[in-house]
A = this chain, B = another copy of it.
Amino acid sequence: MNQDFLNQLLTGVRDGKVDVQEALEQLKDFTTKDLGYATVDTHRELRTGYPEVIFGQGKTPEQVAGIIQFMLTLDNNILATRVTAEMYDKVREIYPDALFNPVAKTIAIRKKEIPPPSTYICVITAGTSDLPVAEEAAVTAEIFGNRVERVVDVGVAGIHRLYNKLDVIRRARVNVVVAGMEGALPSIVGGLVDKPVIAVPTSVGYGANFGGLSALLGMLTSCASGTSVVNIDNGFGAGFLASMINRL
């Protein structure tokens, strides 16, 4: 439920084209929709510019499908993250055109095209194993109307691989840098560009990685300025924030 819809409805009422009772009915779920197991925040787009995104983890396939079924009654693109193939099967029953990205573990439903700005977001991964998190970031940024460039496997052990791609990195409006293990790549990128860097630690690694802790602490204590950090493996959060900055 977005600004356009609201303007249209209120104009309709003012012009006598929409009955007050009917308008009330439509406005009833204006700020939240109670589904029993979930209270969908239908007001979020008005408030933050973005519709609510479904976090699949910890929900049943039925709950994910139920929330999507309700959101289909609104006029927004829909994104669900951290989904399983089982969830996708349930969703496909109610919306066959839903797209499943098995690497990013996302379901996307595009109901309208959002024209991207001329600038783009660059999503960089330190290693091949970081791809699922990077892809979650890229998919998120794309569904919210952004062009995304991908730079893959340019970690610090062979830093010349990064330099080969410096052009595409430096021309981006914002860089999302995804890295596990020691998580040093955002520090390097941050020292080479004059644009914001969003660092995403991943749980890729073993031993003293402690589930992503080493990369997280490394990124937080980075001595390169212009860098900020999101949660371990939080590709969605990085893609969302990158979209916000790219579309400012």
Which A residues are within 8 Å of any B CB, using their own CB? 31-32, 34, 36-39, 41, 43-44, 47-50, 52-53, 55, 57-59, 63, 126-129, 131, 152-161, 164, 173, 181-184, 187-188, 190-196, 198, 201, 203-234, 236-238, 240-241, 244-245, 248
Contacts and interface: CB of A to CB of B under 8 A. Distances in A.
A27 to B, nearest CB: 14
Given A157-B187, A184-B184, A225-B241, 4 more contacts: A43-B158, A50-B194, A156-B223, A210-B217
B231 A48 contact: no
Contacts of A228: 198, 228-230, 237-238, 241
Contacts of A44: 158, 191
B57 A206 contact: yes
10 contacts: A38-B153, A39-B153, A47-B192, A49-B194, A181-B222, A201-B207, A207-B234, A209-B221, A210-B217, A228-B241
Contacts of A34: 152
A139 to B, nearest CB: 14
Nearest to A237: B225
Nearest to A82: B206
A102 to B, nearest CB: 11
B232 A206 contact: yes
A74 to B, nearest CB: 15
Contacts of A236: 225
A131 B37 contact: yes
A158 B31 CA distance: 9
A201 to B, nearest CB: 8
Given A59-B128, A187-B182, A221-B209, A196 B161 contact: no
Contacts of A211: 207, 210
A159 B219 CA distance: 16
A232 to B, nearest CB: 3
Contacts of A41: 157-158, 160-161
